[in-house]
Amino acid sequence: MVTTAQKRRLFRDLGRIDPEFAEKLAPFLEGLYRHYFRCEMTGWENIPERTVLFVGNHNGLLTFEVLMLFHAWWKRYKGSKRALGLAHGIALNNPFFRWLTPRIGAVPADPEVAYEALTRDYSLLVYPGGEKESFRPFTERKKINFFERKGFVKLAIRAKVPIVPIVSVGAHESYVILHRGEEIAEKLGLKEKFRLHGLPITIRSLFFLWCVVSGVFTLFPLAVAPLAFISIFVPMPSKMTFRILPAIDVESMWDPAQTDNDNNQRIYDHVLGVMQKVHDEEYAKRKWPVLG
């Protein structure tokens, strides 16, 4: 959880996106965006002038689609449109990420931090599925799953802002995840300490483990083992497609005759249904995994 002192610091630091840092990152990210992941993004015209809550689907272990979206946003708007994104709370437990997150417009996921951002007229990007969605097996790559997390609906209603869905396709093919590894995370205490609901098992991580157990690394210089370990996290160059959808006016969908729970569920189902429909349409256009 984010402490009160950390919240105050985050509120004070909102908007400290470092333009100089973003510009330094730009050439590297442009290479990934244009050549490695061959990103395509449509629907910019659907972004209203007012503050909104962007809702996206999470993919691919290290979620490179978030970095690509950040780059596309910065390239298009520079600092002219104020926006932030919610990052996993694990960012607060690492000095490097505590330094990095504000500079790229990210604040740790916390309801009060999110509400504060919206009330300060920052549009906000959230991924309701969180790491549970990004850790889903490769066989589930065509399904958006928010695990019935309705916090984003409650946030939009509370802040009186529309929801703008952003659907990404292809990013989950950058890693072949075989299993979420929930049991491993539980045994290692990652769920309790870092709120991590899994430690994904991929084809490359299994191969690395086999190399360790079989003694393959003893045949090579010791430098090979660290390089092999790092390679586990290098994403495959999967083509990514993004579609920004028309804004959903959640306030107009609220029915006073229904209970809060019923309203939240209905709006949740609507947002998820709209996103899944577009996700299916985009996947129907892909001929091959990774290649697109």
User: Same domain, yes or no, for 148 and 278?
Assistant: yes
Instruction: In whole angstroms, give the CA distance from residue 146 to residue 136.
Output: 11
* Segment 10-34 mean pLDDT: 84
Q: Same domain, yes or no, for 136 and 219?
A: no
174-195: average pLDDT: 85
Backbone angles phi, psi at 167, to 5 degrees: -100, 125
Look at residue 262 in the predicted model and tell me its pLDDT.
Answer: 98
- Residue 288 placed within a domain: no
Say what the pLDDT of residue 228 is: 74
Contacts of 55 (CB under 8 A, 6+ apart): 125, 126, 127, 128, 152, 163, 164, 165, 166, 271, 275
pLDDT of residue 10: 60
Gap between the Cα atoms of 163 and 243, Å rounded = 14
- Yes or no: say if 63 and 173 are a contact pair by the CB < 8 Å rule: no
Asked if the structure places residue 124 within a domain, the reply is yes
Band of the pLDDT at 191, cuts 50, 70, 90?
confident
Length of the chain: 292
Q: Residues 242, 230: one domain?
A: no
> Does 162 share its domain with 24?
yes
Express as a percent the part of the chain with pLDDT over 90.
Answer: 62
Share of the chain above pLDDT 70, in %: 89
Report pLDDT digits (tens) over 194-226: 777 788 899 888 877 877 777 666 666 566 667
More confident residue, 61 or 101: 61
Q: For 72-95, what is each residue's pLDDT tens digit?
A: 999 999 889 999 999 876 666 677
Residues 95 and 141 in one domain: yes
Quote the pLDDT of residue 3: 64
- Give the domain-ending residue among 197, 218, 234: 234
The mean predicted confidence, pLDDT, of the chain is: 89
Query: For the domain that residue 101 is a member of, what is the CATH number?
Result: 3.40.1130.10
141 in the same domain as 50 = yes
Most confident of the following: 49-63, 205-219, 220-234: 49-63
pLDDT at 7 over 80: no
| Whether residue 97 is found in the same domain as residue 77 | yes
pLDDT band at 9 (very low <50, low <70, confident <90, very high): low
User: Do 61 and 185 fall within a single domain?
Assistant: no
The Cα–Cα gap between 112 and 93 comes to 19
In this prediction, residue 104 has a pLDDT band, given cuts at 50, 70 and 90, of confident
Q: What is the pLDDT of residues 109-132, one digit of tens each?
A: 889 889 999 999 999 999 999 989
Structural domain containing residue 209: 178-234
Q: Using one digit for the tens of pLDDT, what is the confidence trace for 235-261?
A: 999 999 999 999 999 999 999 999 999
Report whether pLDDT(176) > 90.
yes
Residue 292 domain flag: no
Reported pTM = 0.91
Report the domain count for the chain. 2
Residue 184 binned pLDDT confidence (cut-offs 50, 70, 90): confident
Q: What is the CA radius of gyration of the chain?
A: 20
Beta strand 177-179 with 201-202 is antiparallel
Q: What is the pLDDT of residue 253?
A: 98
